[in-house]
Structure 1
Amino acid sequence: MNQLKTIADEVLPVYEKDTGEKLVSARELHQQLFSKQEFVNWIKRRIDNYGFIEGEDFLTTLSKSTGGRPSTEYLLLLDTAKEVAMVENNEQGRAIRKYFIQVEKQSKVEQPKTQLEILQGTINQMVMQEKDIKQIKQENEALKHRMDNYDKIDQLGDLQQRLNNMIRKYAAQNGIAFPEAWRHFRRSFNNSYRTNIKTLMKNFQTKHGLKSITAPQYLSMSGRLEDAVRVADKMLNQQTFLTNKELI
């Protein structure tokens, strides 16, 4: 008993070994249950009736001799002590069982982390920091690429000229013809704004009695050039975003 640490003592002492096992003195439990049976008969009957195994469910030790024959002391594992308290089938036994359950819950909350858990937590934190650094680098590369694109596109002139220059640059980047690049643009525009630019152009043409209209003309006349430039900008930077994702 001297090598045991007391971790709770509100109702009766609960002890803990250096291995973390939690134990209860059967003699102290017997006293707290107010049992009228003699302790030796009481504990032996519990062990026999419920098949408790020494070394698994309880431990035994000899008390210090005070001149007479040393007595056998029984240390019950906490689960065993809960079962012994429950089978008393009275209010005191049920109250003590609840006390043991509460001690067990509190012990789990306060249990310190092992060195392995601390190391794993440190590693997890380092991995998260590395991911954050990669994300920052990715965002910086995307921003640099975007600024480079703006530097290479003539910012002078109206939005329609700028849009044409961006579509032309997209065609050069992807090795496709200028009309094909415009088809890519129309598809991206439709996906971005959940619409159909061909239908919009046809309705606009009918409404205003126009013989024909091109996509740049429609976007300019309908006031949607700024929307179109945003779509073209995403198209120009899409390849960079895909490349960055592959690096993660």
Structure 2
Amino acid sequence: MTNKTFAGQDRASGSLIPLTQAVVGGQPVRAVNLRDLHAFLGVQTAFKDWIARRIADYGFEDGRDFCSFLSESQGGRPAREYHGTLDMAKELAMVERNERGKQARLYFIECERRAQVSNDLAVAVTGIVAPLVTRMESTDHQIATLSQQVQDLMLIADDRGKASRERISVRQLLDDAGAVQKGRNGINRRVGSALRALAMTQTPPIQLRRCMHSGVWLFPVEFAGRFMATVGNEWVREHNSELEGGETLTLPLLGLGRRGRKG
């Protein structure tokens, strides 16, 4: 390729044909100030005449191939400027049919190639980064969810701790009263039913609660304690007496007891 290193550069001045951003047809595009291209090509015809003739001869359209506007006036009459797309700039360079035109065309082609490489690289990077970002967002969401779950569990644990201090189950009441473990289903139901019924007769009715973990009924400690002191403990003694079925001999020295035999 002839003088590839020269593409887009003036041997005499070393200046480049700068690219710019323009809005053509309502879309932002990479563009060329066609006055700069005219200067680079070394065209002897005045710019306003050259560009008007090229637009007419090759059917370039404002809003499709270029945009035009009046430059800011420095005291004189404002000049009309033209910013053309790279496709238009390539065609203008080609139709000059000289070395400068060839160099400019190759330069614009190289600009497009580099832009495409950059775009492909951006797409590739996005393809790599996007899944990582999605995975990080998913991980952040999982961490946030786990954090919320931990907080919820801490609140539940705190509630259970409060419940264990403020409320008591029938099983705990019977344990505290020393009820024999064997055959406790009956007395368990009896005490539970009595407590629930008694709670409804209070003014105002006592609010009952089920354990979130086991589902058993929990009763206010003071309320349940009064019930056991007046009725429940007697039921426990009857329960134990029925199951033991005889006297208990105590061994004072050992502090142990054994079931007596009926003779």
Question: Is the structural similarity TM-score above 0.5?
Answer: no
Kindly indicate which of the two structures has a greater share of residues assigned to strand: 2
Kindly indicate which of the two structures has a greater share of residues assigned to helix: 1
Of structures 1 and 2, the larger Rg is shown by 2
TM-score by length of 1: 0.42
